[in-house]
Structure 1
Amino acid sequence: MTAEVAPRKCMGVDCDKNAGTLQCPTCLKAGLDSYFCSQDCFKRSWSEHKSIHKKTTGIYNPFPSFTYPGNLRPVYPLSPRRTVPKTIPHPEYAKDGIARSEQKFVGRNNIKILNKEEQEGMRKVCRLAREVLDIAAAELKPGVTTDYIDEVVHKACLERDSYPSPLNYYNFPKSVCTSINEIICHGIPDQRPLEDGDIVNIDVTLYHNGFHGDLNETYYVGDKAKANPDAVRVVETSRECLDMSIDLVKPGMLFRDPGNVIEKHAKTRNCSVVKSYCGHGINQMFHCAPNVPHYARNKAVGTAKPGMVFTIEPMINLGTHRDRTWPDDWTSSTADGALSAQFEHTLLVTEDGVEVLTARLPTSPGGAVPIPAAEEAKNEA
């Protein structure tokens, strides 16, 4: 039985039709996909479309007319979609991109309490997710592309009989999210080489034996990043916000409480908190109740009880808290192009506190870097 193939969209300017078989001859010679609905549409779009031919390397910016908030640009073409053997269990959305179980529970505040067997399933997948993140992080260095990091994550998942949860989740094209510099979250791995001075978030989620495990960290690329006071400030503030919010987690905690602690600490460092995305329940579903906002005075519903599993994942910006999404419908950038950092753990509420299921290991790459004293003093003034 063959898989359904989504129709190609025409690449014509302001054209929302499906493409036919007509291809740009120049793109065809370069091995690039570039389909149009008609000859007239191709001619009308030529003056803008031909800009992708200027680079002799074959790489290009797929959205040349988009006004990017910061300096980062997508570097296409994306590598072909990676495959997962049928012997590895797939989540329900793997074929058509639709997480129907999650849609069924949208708007409900029934927060699942996992039994002992389910809790052990979450422990297992979260241990595997930590292993995969650490393997990917160990490969970070200037010159490495995020597409290579995606390949590393994909292979590490398969080696653990796991499906990389982001792959085809609502049509996300890759196996991991890689968010560089001003990208808040959901960055799509591509052909851009990492540069000395970048910061990059790697967001890994695995699906293993019916359960999802989710975590992410932001890393410094090269010594130049660690010497950048602004980069260190936003990364370490995000790391500390997560740690401080985890200290709250125990039976009886209100899901609206972590946001108060996170925003208060972020403001002491002259940073802002993203409001568009929040922590979430996770178990047999990738995303479910509860919602755990990261900003103060939110109206999140619910109270933590033993057996509940959810993430906290504060996204902290140097500038405005507002975000802007690229035309790929996934990549979320800060609205002003300022740096952003994020950290995430999957947490299990126990009878008397919390178990960090995705906790760092003694061998985990990365880790805290001291904020330069001059920078800290400036923000306290």
Structure 2
Amino acid sequence: MSTDDRISIEDRIRIATRARASMVRDLRPLPAPGLSPLRHRSAAPARRSRRWVTWGIPLAAAVAVVAIALSLAAIRHESTLPVKPSPPAIETQGIPRYFAAVEQVPLQVSAPKALIVGDDKTGAVIATVPAPRGVILGPVVGMADDRTFLVTGEADASSPHRKAIWYRLRIAPGTAHPYQLTKLPGSVVNGTRFAVSPDGTELAVESSPSLHLTKLAVVSLASGKTLRTWTTTTGIQLAPAAANLSWLSDGTHVTFGTVHTTSMQVRTLDVTAPGADLLADSRVLVTIPLSGAGTCETAQATPDGGTVVCATQYSFVSQSGRSADCLKYEPGFIAYSVRTGKPVRVLYRSSKPCTAGIANTVWLDASARHVIGAVRFPSVSGALDAGELGVITQARGFQQIKLPKAVIPADFESMAF
């Protein structure tokens, strides 16, 4: 540190003031007050003005030095403050970068399929993972690290009690070995839906072993053993709508759905509480009507448990054509408040008015501020289905996601982030 750096600001001001004051000439002695005529007293204010001007010069200089010194100190202080980085664009905040989708082979339902792992920022294929020998790949779910996926498969699709095989898929983009597919221990009756706990240690599996029996089980991924089971003999219809199985972010609650004649319920179950009755031991989050504008095809609760996102469809299954009020029935996404049980906002409606289509929720953040959603349109004259996949935000609406050419709209429903 130099000598100048050790001199304080106050010392600099004092030195500068003394230097400026030394440049001012001595003032003459003031004359004794006399009995001047009254008409000459008007000159006294002028002499006082000159006196203030004479003394004001060094004072003004001192004030200027103080201002400069304080400004330099402020600049020096501000230069040491950390610079706040600019926030990232909305499209990338918290959005998973990598996805996996089961490749669909048109007109070959039982054909062995591959997993396509892609990058939604560049639209590049990271890896193409072939199905294990003799296994038909099924649904995929993503885990929280954006590098791990859980994949299901079936070894004997002809058996009515076929078993689901579980695989862990780890990806390493940009390396010589971009993926690793590992079979997990144990197997369960093939689930209609499944979901991985937030910490990646447990699996919730929903299945229907018989027509009037619905079963929900929690399975350890490390051992493959069933930890808890809940059942109900009350008919839980899987059509015309259903709720996606999911975990809340607290890791102790699973959400699922029941479908009745006129409505669908999204329910939550505390997997740490006693009991084994799926309906009696769970509670309703939201009840959604199955008629009218915005009828849900599927619904899913957000991880914070405060919102349910309803994915709608229009004339996709019935192919009944346009209705007179078809503008009310475009496929899209509607957010329901768990607190009020009412719809609070339309997240997105398809860009193709009055076109038959079906929406599918692919990924949700904690409170539905960001949703990855897909809309699929049925094929015409035997052509492949059309569709769109994008990030939905309240500020920017629907923004298309970059996809590899190998991923077709028929793959959207099997896609996981």
Q: Which has the higher contact order (CA 8 A, sep 6+)?
A: 1
Per the TM superposition, whether the score is higher than 0.5 is no
Higher helix share: 1
Q: Which has the larger radius of gyration?
A: 2
- As a proportion of its length, which structure holds more strand? 2
Q: Which TM-score applies when normalising by structure 2?
A: 0.25
